Amino acid sequence: MPSAPTAAFASPASAPAPPYAGFWRRLVAMVLDGLVLFFPQAILRVALGLPVLSYDDEWGDKTVLTTEILGLAMGFLYCAVLESSGAQGSLGQQALGLAVTDMHGRRIGFGRALARQFAKIVSSLLCGMGYAFQLWNGKRQTLHDAMTGCLVVRRDESVARDSGGSFVVAS
Tens-place pLDDT, residues 87-137: 999 999 999 999 999 999 999 999 999 999 999 999 999 998 999 999 998
Judge whether 40 lies within some domain: yes
Judge whether 118 lies within some domain: yes
Question: With contact defined as beta carbons under 8 Å apart, do 155 and 165 qualify?
Answer: no
Q: Output the pTM of the full model.
A: 0.76
Q: Could you list the residue range(s) of the whole structural domain that residue 33 is in?
A: 23-50+59-154
Judge whether 100 lies within some domain: yes
Q: CA dist 168 to 105, 120, 137, 158, 162, Å? A: 6, 26, 20, 11, 6
Judge whether 67 lies within some domain: yes
Judge whether 104 lies within some domain: yes
Structural domain count, the chain = 1
Q: For residues 169 and 126, which has the higher predicted lDDT (pLDDT)?
A: 126
Whole-number pLDDT of residue 2: 57
DSSP type of residue 135: G
Judge whether 34 lies within some domain: yes
